[in-house]
């Protein structure tokens, strides 16, 4: 099968999508259900229509664009990714899987192929945790592992309110996909790590996805005037939180495994005044590992440290587990199909573990799944200088198209 990728068109569509942003170029900020997110969705829907795809949106804004196969009643083959972007990030994370997925379908259409199974392009609602504090709420709900009714942003506004404002309606209970909806799912994504570029390999096929977890830690002490409250009487919430931050680092390092990582990426200090003793702090903590047991060991070490700090500093510390997901092993048959598709295009392909998590982690709960990685410059992601070459994107798109064709026959 001859697969021609229109790289010029795909590059210009990625650039256009990047203009829907709350941050000035080259940075991209596009939080789910924001005005820019809604404009970006409308842009993609226009492209889907041009390609003759059947579009459906669910109650929380997951978008399905289907190229109907010759046997439309068979379980479909899924692909796709996300278009939301964390504040001040780049233009390739997620979008390559959505617009690359679209170009893969267009390339198959141009080749004259008619798939037996339908091929469906997904745009997941919010892979990033920016709005609701939990990543992948769209694919979690599709997989039936989250019901969405408890999701709130940091100001207490619910998913229900946000999605209604963004124009999505329907019962949350209708979002979960029925068993056997997909026969397979393949997500194209930039690596977000340095390995493919360093090794000069154009294609990575993902064999496992690391287990992510995140915590919110609330520390409460006692505020007061920075001049009037003397040091012996202090119950400074921020000083306590600082000890907890270092305890997270210590816990992650203590496993001795290169795959264990722990990060405190959010620290809100109240009241946030130079002359006020901090009375309350909220930390957000991210811990990951490819071994769920080892990861859970780190979580309990952090918990223990929190209790010790609370006693030592006479503050209260409350820990809330936002998520603690299992890792996934990707489907061996799909890994083989992607490897063969790369070989057929004359592209070297390397098996690898994804340390970042993706919607595929949750799609793998309901269908055989894997991911295709392409190199990105210096492994940089979630930054304005994130970059993948048009050639790298075209190569990934070609392998995706070949994989979809094999799966849909």
CB of 271 to Zn ion, least distance (A): 35
* Cβ-based nearer residue to Zn ion, 83 or 108: 83
Residues 333-362 that bind Zn ion (CB under 5 A): none
> Contact between 138 and Zn ion (CB under 5 A)?
no
* Cβ-based nearer residue to Zn ion, 57 or 127: 127
First to last CA, the chain: 13
Q: Report the distance separating Cα 53 and Cα 394, nearest Å.
A: 21
* Cβ-based nearer residue to Zn ion, 94 or 223: 94
Contacts of 405 (CB under 8 A, 6+ apart): 1, 108, 113, 115
CB of 356 to Zn ion, least distance (A): 7
* Cβ-based nearer residue to Zn ion, 330 or 406: 330
CB of 360 to Zn ion, least distance (A): 10
CB of 359 to Zn ion, least distance (A): 8
CB of 97 to Zn ion, least distance (A): 7
The residue number with the shortest CB distance to Zn ion is 94
If DSSP codes are grouped into helix, strand and coil, which group holds residue 240?
A: helix
Q: Report the distance separating Cα 346 and Cα 283, nearest Å.
A: 48
CB of 382 to Zn ion, least distance (A): 9
* Cβ-based nearer residue to Zn ion, 23 or 226: 23
* Cβ-based nearer residue to Zn ion, 93 or 386: 93
- Token representation of residue 102: 């679209």
Task: Report in angstroms the alpha-carbon separations of 320 from 72, 133, 299, 368, 381.
Answer: 44, 12, 11, 32, 28
* Cβ-based nearer residue to Zn ion, 299 or 352: 352
* Cβ-based nearer residue to Zn ion, 40 or 240: 40
Q: How far is CA 239 from the centre of its chain?
A: 32
Q: Report the distance separating Cα 198 and Cα 189, nearest Å.
A: 17
Residue whose entry in the numeric block shows the structure tokens 């939180």: 241
Count of chain residues binding Zn ion (CB under 5 A):
2
CB 119 within 8 A of CB 94: no
CB of 311 to Zn ion, least distance (A): 40
Q: Report the distance separating Cα 171 and Cα 219, nearest Å.
A: 36
Residues 65-104 that bind Zn ion (CB under 5 A): 93-94
Q: Which among 81, 43, 34, 36 has a CA at the least distance from the CA of 62?
A: 81
CB of 358 to Zn ion, least distance (A): 6
What DSSP element (H or E) covers 322? strand 316-324
Q: What are the residues binding Zn ion (CB under 5 A)?
A: 93-94
């Amino acid at each position: 099968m001859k697969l021609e990728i229109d790289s010029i068109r795909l590059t210009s569509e990625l650039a256009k999508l990047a203009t829907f942003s709350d941050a000035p170029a080259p940075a991209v900020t596009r939080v789910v259900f924001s005005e820019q997110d809604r404009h970006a969705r409308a842009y993609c829907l226009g492209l889907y229509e041009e390609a003759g795809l059947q579009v459906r949106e669910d109650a929380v804004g997951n978008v399905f664009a289907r190229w109907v196969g010759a046997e439309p009643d068979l379980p479909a083959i899924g692909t796709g990714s996300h278009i939301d972007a964390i504040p001040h990030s780049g233009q390739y994370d997620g979008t390559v899987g959505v617009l690359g997925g679209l170009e893969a379908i267009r390339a198959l259409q141009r080749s004259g192929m008619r798939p037996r199974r339908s091929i469906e392009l997904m745009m997941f609602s919010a892979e990033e945790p920016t709005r609701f504090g939990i990543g992948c709420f769209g694919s979690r709900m599709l997989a039936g592992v989250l019901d969405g009714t408890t999701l709130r942003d940091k100001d207490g506004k619910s998913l229900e309110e946000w999605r209604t404002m963004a124009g999505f309606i329907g019962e949350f209970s209708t979002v979960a996909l029925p068993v056997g909806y997909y026969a397979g799912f393949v997500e194209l994504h930039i690596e977000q790590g340095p390995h493919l570029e360093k090794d000069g390999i154009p294609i990575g096929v993902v064999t496992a996805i690391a287990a992510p977890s995140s915590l919110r830690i609330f520390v409460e002490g006692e505020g007061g005037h920075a001049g009037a409250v003397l040091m012996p009487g202090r119950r400074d919430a921020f000083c306590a939180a600082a000890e907890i931050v270092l305890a997270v680092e210590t816990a992650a390092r203590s496993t001795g495994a290169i795959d264990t990582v722990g990060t405190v990426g959010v620290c809100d200090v109240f009241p946030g005044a130079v002359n006020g003793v901090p009375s309350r702090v909220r930390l957000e903590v991210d811990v990951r590992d490819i071994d769920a047991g080892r990861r859970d060991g780190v979580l309990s070490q952090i918990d223990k440290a929190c209790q010790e700090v609370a006693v030592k500093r006479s503050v209260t510390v409350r820990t809330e587990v936002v998520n603690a997901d299992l890792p996934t092993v990707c489907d061996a048959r799909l890994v083989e199909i992607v490897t063969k598709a790369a070989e057929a295009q004359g592209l070297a392909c390397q098996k690898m573990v994804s340390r970042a998590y993706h919607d595929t982690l949750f799609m793998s709960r309901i269908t055989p799944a894997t991911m295709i990685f392409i190199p990105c410059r210096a492994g940089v992601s979630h930054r304005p200088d994130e970059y993948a070459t048009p050639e790298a994107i075209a190569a990934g798109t070609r392998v995706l198209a070949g994989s979809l064709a094999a799966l849909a026959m």
